Structure 1
Amino acid sequence: MATASATSSSTWGERLKLRVSTIVWFLLALGFLLGLPVLLDVHVLLLVAIALLALLLAFPFAWFVRLIFVGQRRQSWGWSFTKAFLALVFAITLLIAAPLYFLAFRTELAPLTVPQATLSNGKKTVVFQGMMHIGSEGFYKSVIYDLEKALSEGYAIYYEGVRGDPAGDKWFADTLAGGGDLNTNYETFGDACGLQFQGPYFELLAADMKARPERHVEADVSTADMMREYQRLMDTDPEFAAAVEKDQPAPPDSGEADPTTQMFGWLANATPGQRKILGLACRGWMTMLMGAKTAPSALDPVILDFRNQKLAERIVTSADDKIFITYGAGHLPGLLDDLQKSDPAWEIKSLKWMRTIETPEDLEGQI
């Protein structure tokens, strides 16, 4: 009786192990099949490298499995080695591909959004359209549609864009633009991420800008204005000066490699598959980075606070009572605070959210 019970328990245990083993192998194989396109898009040699790594690790892995599980010792060493090799190939492939799939799903399941807020104090109405310098085509088309509608309703359009000034251009390029042209940097980065730079879409308004220039206002400060504010703060605000000194990036001639420059250099020779992989990773990374709350930058008093103050002053003193603003989404809280300092009646009357980053559409058909 006891022997029959023990035999039944042993048989049940073996069946359970077999079922668990089957499920594990199925999941590993499925992960490998999902990860294989990623490996092949990056480079076929990556798959070869994984196979070589699995060969090196297969023997110690098989030895460990045989040490732990008595049943594995009944199998031949050759079969144990083969299973260990396949399991490692499947697992390594899954580990490499999993972060990319996570970033792709992160972009779709928790999209990055910006606000379109309508502000008013009862006398003036300001529509603040949060912007990103690079984003998806659908986002910019929606913004341009809203701008054209606002123009038809009598709004003046206030644009973000630090104006060039010979007195401050070099300082701006060296201090804030990474030593280059900011728009060019945005275009290059957008291309790497499979996204678009906002500039060309605003060219759709060129005809109206020419016909009604008074309705299109460059509302931002100049590079010289920002430079003077920066120097003023450095001279009068010890905390600002200390924070800037602490966050000062390495000078261009320090001999340190610039990761962004290296990435752009690699991108120039990348295959379509590699560009697709980079685009997925970049869009997911941007969604996570820009959607997360980060510590204030040492330069925020110049980049954000100073420009918010000047924009608020322009709104308050303007003869326009209907204004549509296209500015970085991060400016909205500070702008509202500055407007309320001049008139506490300013408040948000309505708010909607717009998605900025999506996977580019690739549509095909037949004629």
Structure 2
Amino acid sequence: MKGSTEVWLIRLSAILWFLLLVGMLLSLPILFDVGGWAVLGLAVLAGVLALPVAWSLRRLFSRQRSQPWRASLLKTALATFALLSILAAAPIYFLAFNAALRPVTVPLATLSNGKKTVVFQGMMHIGTESFYKGVVYDLERALTEGYVLFYEGVQPDPSADAWFSQTLAGGGDLSANYTALGKACGLDFQLNYFTLLDVDKAAHPERHVTADVTTADMKREYERLVRTDPAFAAYARSAEVKKDEATGSNIAKALAWLDRATPGQQVLIGTACRGVLNIVTVNDDESDPINKVVLDYRNRELAARIAQSPANKIYVTYGAGHLPGLLRDLKALDPAWEIKSLKWERTIDSPETLSGRLK
């Protein structure tokens, strides 16, 4: 019986060692991308932790005591280093696999009330190049089919631009913030691709409509909610207390640090950033009070523009989160509005790096 138990312990030990070593080998490339100092630091930490662990194991197990102290210490240090390596690299692997298995998608929906047809292309402010190129291609085709394009984009107003920047844009310029985030994540900012439509805009400005509100409009709605909605007023007071005046400078510092990162570090930062962005987007909190201004108010205004537009074929490019509210607001104006077709498109993916050989 004792011999059988020892055999099973040996087998279990072999399996654990195999898993630890495989995990360590998978983790080391990530650690070396972080920097040699990361590997060295984990090795030193493993050596320090191995001393009490090896001593405890020798106290608990007679089989450990039968080995020389140096052998026990080296094996424990190696196992500890492998475990620490796995723990250090696990978040990167988790974020990468989560983004691959649960991708962020946006809707492409066709709405109609029998008189007008609205194609709603859900957007994200930052995403992969292939997604934006596909959107621009669809827009160019829509123009040839007689659609009027409705774009998202809060318009500036000198009387409220500073308020908008500090209250809703997190400090600094909103486009600059998205460009910075896209750079960190290895993604692109959507407006970089809409310039491909500039020639048609210049020739046919009536077919290109920025169907959004101004910063002053949003400020007025914000102030109205503060006066009439106690829950929103409480949110506004707490948001004012938490407001970070240094957000813009923090972004500048982060960009400066990113520029100094090694290529390997930039790859890891991009992977982590895309993974976090994926989680945040998928689990977006729809109950956030600020959505009463950012989503609900703008949805009502967009629905009114669609209803009042003389065009009977409209192609809307707006944030994906606007679709449910827009449909509700259109139905409030005309119950005949409904979704005729719906499909989903992926917006965030790992950048492709292809190579070849000239013969």
Bucket of the pairwise TM-score, normalised by the shorter protein:
over 0.9
CA offset at residue 250 of structure 1? 3.0
CA offset at residue 211 of structure 1? 1.2
Taking structure 2 as the reference length, the TM-score comes to 0.96
Deviation digits for residues 285-334 of structure 1, max 9, x if unmatched?
11111011425222111111110000000000110100000000111111
Q: Does the alignment pair 1:15 with 2:7?
A: yes
User: Structure 1 residue aligned with 2:240, among 245, 248, 257?
Assistant: 248
For residue 202 of structure 1, what is the aligned residue in structure 2? Answer: 194
Give the distance between the partners of 2:293 and 2:61, measured in 1 at CA. Answer: 64
For residue 281 of structure 1, what is the aligned residue in structure 2? Answer: 272
CA offset at residue 13 of structure 1? 2.0
Give the distance between the partners of 1:89 and 1:104, measured in 2 at CA. Answer: 23
- Does the CA contact (< 8 Å) of 2:180 and 2:251 recur in 1? no
Q: Does the alignment pair 1:28 with 2:20?
A: yes
Give the distance between the partners of 2:171 and 2:10, measured in 1 at CA. Answer: 62
Give the distance between the partners of 1:15 and 1:243, measured in 2 at CA. Answer: 64
Deviation digits for residues 57-94 of structure 1, max 9, x if unmatched?
11111112222322111111111100110001100000
- Does the CA contact (< 8 Å) of 1:247 and 1:298 recur in 2? no
For residue 324 of structure 2, what is the aligned residue in structure 1? Answer: 333
User: Structure 2 residue aligned with 1:291, among 282, 289, 304?
Assistant: 282
- Does the CA contact (< 8 Å) of 1:117 and 1:348 recur in 2? yes
Unpaired stretches in structure 1, ≥5 consecutive residues: 1-8
Give the distance between the partners of 2:85 and 2:351, measured in 1 at CA. Answer: 26
Give the distance between the partners of 2:243 and 2:210, measured in 1 at CA. Answer: 32
For residue 70 of structure 1, what is the aligned residue in structure 2? Answer: 62
Deviation digits for residues 25-84 of structure 1, max 9, x if unmatched?
111111111110111111110111101111111111111222232211111111110011
Q: Does the alignment pair 1:53 with 2:10?
A: no
Unpaired stretches in structure 2, ≥5 consecutive residues: none
User: Structure 2 residue aligned with 1:186, among 175, 178, 185?
Assistant: 178
Q: How does 1:205-220 map to 2 (within 5 A)?
A: 205-220=197-212
Give the distance between the partners of 1:189 and 1:196, measured in 2 at CA. Answer: 9
| 2:240 maps to amino acid | Q
Higher mean alpha-carbon deviation, 62-71 vs 149-158, is at 62-71
- Does the CA contact (< 8 Å) of 2:129 and 2:187 recur in 1? yes
For residue 174 of structure 1, what is the aligned residue in structure 2? Answer: 166
Give the distance between the partners of 2:190 and 2:56, measured in 1 at CA. Answer: 56
- Does the CA contact (< 8 Å) of 2:179 and 2:189 recur in 1? yes
Higher mean alpha-carbon deviation, 15-24 vs 322-331, is at 15-24
| 1:358 maps to amino acid | D
For residue 120 of structure 1, what is the aligned residue in structure 2? Answer: 112
For residue 5 of structure 1, what is the aligned residue in structure 2? Answer: none
Higher mean alpha-carbon deviation, 67-76 vs 356-365, is at 67-76
Q: Does the alignment pair 1:164 with 2:174?
A: no
For residue 131 of structure 1, what is the aligned residue in structure 2? Answer: 123
Root-mean-square deviation (Å): 1.6
Deviation digits for residues 231-256 of structure 1, max 9, x if unmatched?
22222222211122123353445x89
CA offset at residue 260 of structure 1? 5.0
CA offset at residue 176 of structure 1? 1.1
Do the aligned partners of residues 262 and 87 (structure 1) sit closer, same or farther apart at CA in structure 2, a change above 3 Å counting?
Answer: farther
Deviation digits for residues 184-213 of structure 1, max 9, x if unmatched?
110011000000000110011111111111
Q: Does the alignment pair 1:109 with 2:101?
A: yes
User: Structure 2 residue aligned with 1:302, among 293, 305, 320?
Assistant: 293
User: What is the SS of the residue equivalent to 2:242?
Assistant: coil
CA offset at residue 262 of structure 1? 4.9
Give the distance between the partners of 1:231 and 1:14, measured in 2 at CA. Answer: 74
* Count of aligned positions: 358
For residue 324 of structure 1, what is the aligned residue in structure 2? Answer: 315
Q: Does the alignment pair 1:86 with 2:78?
A: yes
Give the distance between the partners of 1:162 and 1:205, measured in 2 at CA. Answer: 19
Give the distance between the partners of 1:256 and 1:340, measured in 2 at CA. Answer: 39
- Does the CA contact (< 8 Å) of 1:226 and 1:302 recur in 2? yes
Percent identity reads: 53
Q: Does the alignment pair 1:149 with 2:131?
A: no
Give the distance between the partners of 1:34 and 1:259, measured in 2 at CA. Answer: 33
Higher mean alpha-carbon deviation, 238-247 vs 190-199, is at 238-247
For residue 216 of structure 2, what is the aligned residue in structure 1? Answer: 224
For residue 269 of structure 1, what is the aligned residue in structure 2? Answer: 260
Deviation digits for residues 254-273 of structure 1, max 9, x if unmatched?
x8998655533421211111
| 1:344 maps to amino acid | P
Give the distance between the partners of 1:154 and 1:35, measured in 2 at CA. Answer: 54
User: What is the SS of the residue equivalent to 1:306?
Assistant: helix
Q: How does 1:346-361 map to 2 (within 5 A)?
A: 346-361=337-352
| 2:102 maps to amino acid | A
- Does the CA contact (< 8 Å) of 2:171 and 2:248 recur in 1? no
Give the distance between the partners of 1:19 and 1:347, measured in 2 at CA. Answer: 63
